[in-house]
Structure 1
Amino acid sequence: MRAVGAVGGAFVLALTATGCGLGADLGGKGEKIAIGIKFDQPGLGLKTADGSYAGFDVDVATYVAKKLGYSEDDIVWKEAPSAERENLIKNGDVKFVVATYSINEKRLKEVDFAGPYFLTHQDLLVRGDEVSITKVEDLNSKKLCSVTGSTSARNVKEKLAPKAGLQELGGYSECLAGLEDKKVDALTTDAAILAGYASQQQHWGKFKLVGLSLSDENYGIGLKKGDTALKGKINKALGEMVSDGTWRKLVRKHFSLSSYKSEPAPAIQN
């Protein structure tokens, strides 16, 4: 973290102590910007054992922040669990959220979105030697795993394969362990999330994506409702990220070690 002057340092400490202000656009070199990311999604947003942060969303957020005038050292990373993303934005705890944040009508009633910057689909992850699951209907005689309360799991269970044996666990890592131990036959969520887990070194070759498109998930950058100026700046940065080749490099960096085939960069909705 870069040193700041005594007055500036005291100001930042005061903001931290009150629990507010980090999301504000303070402006000026060396001041901070708080950004919400996932801390538990390999390949997308992960807080590593050494306390650093890695993933596609982390790199996208860092690129956008730099275009807004903030260095990497100026970023304060905030954990943004799915259920808390809108609150973090509305309360001003973060300036924006980059956290596998699918744009949908319900969320648009509470926050605005820049982007989208990534398009993925709900898919299935299976063992690398699995040959009996090639379509979603094959799950009707199989055991399916997802996290507790997952909309992806309900989508399969209620609409696509109602006879699937659904097991809901606390986290995707638990589902992966069950998949590896043959206690379940498939794991479902967004393909990009599945690919992140499959790309971890300890999982190389053990799992594969089936390659289905069970839903369209356009990831956007969430920001405060009505902040059209910030939305325009972020959209401009995202456009430059695609045009200068950075977007494609980041996709290769984070997803090339799995069987995931990403979609082209989606058109930004101004």
Structure 2
Amino acid sequence: MQFKVIGFLLCAALAGCGGEDDPSKAETHAVKLSSSDHRLAKDLFGHVSTASKQNAESFGSYAKGCVGGAVQLPETGPTWQAMRLSRNRNWGQPILIDYLKDLSRKAAAQPGWEGLYIGDMSQPRGGPMLTGHASHQIGLDADIWMRAPKHLMLTVNDREHISSISMRKSAGAFVNDEWTEQHHNILKAAASDPRVARIFVFPGAKVQMCKDEKGDRAWLNKIRPWYGHHYHFHVRLNCPKGDKSCVNQAPPPKGDGCADAQDWVNNILNPPPPKPKDPNAPKPQPKAPITLATLPSQCSAVLSSR
């Protein structure tokens, strides 16, 4: 648990972990890889402005893959607005587009909410991004702002400059006064959808939901504590049925996960002492960047499709 604390407090100091996510250590790569192109994948995928003309399909895992035939979420709909349009990250698998539209309608039924502000999804062809996320690579992840939309008439310029609202207090150990019953209800609706694999949110929010939920608690299993995620919550969908090249993350442990979330909170409030350094321990090596060669081989075809 100590590594969680150190990482979480560092993120708190940086006001939210701009590099975000990604708790996908349990993922394995089951797709044949290319071995010929060592260009940085983020430079290749980060500058493509349109989706590939292919059938919708995800290749690889959430933090190491790409997406063919992605669909763009319309900039504005009856119950949503896509934010930060200059990033061109409002793309995803059709199943993600449908999910976000469904959830936005449920959010619009909550008092004080006109729908949802949708943050980063994926790039037009997925893959690693130039900045920010480690995941969001296969068209099945989306960030949803914690800010309640009072109206859905934001201009393009508004969407570049308006910010979401933080829900955390005490470095994420608790929710603050901005947290409402509506946040609980929207997250419950988001996690109760069978298309969802998991939802990432800061530890204090998970603990608060555990305290407040008086009915069915099964949905809490999919709410997972993670660094940052106090301005938005991060939805991750399961691989679509029949999508054989998509690698699911291991399912969450059984149970509601409330005790684990409380451990995160306890360690935020009372961090354990750091372990003494071993002078003979090898120095940690920086993580190798993702190149086209280390992505699934299908990603070359995704890039070259016109």
TM-score (norm 1): 0.30
More strand as a share of residues: 1
TM-score by length of 2: 0.27
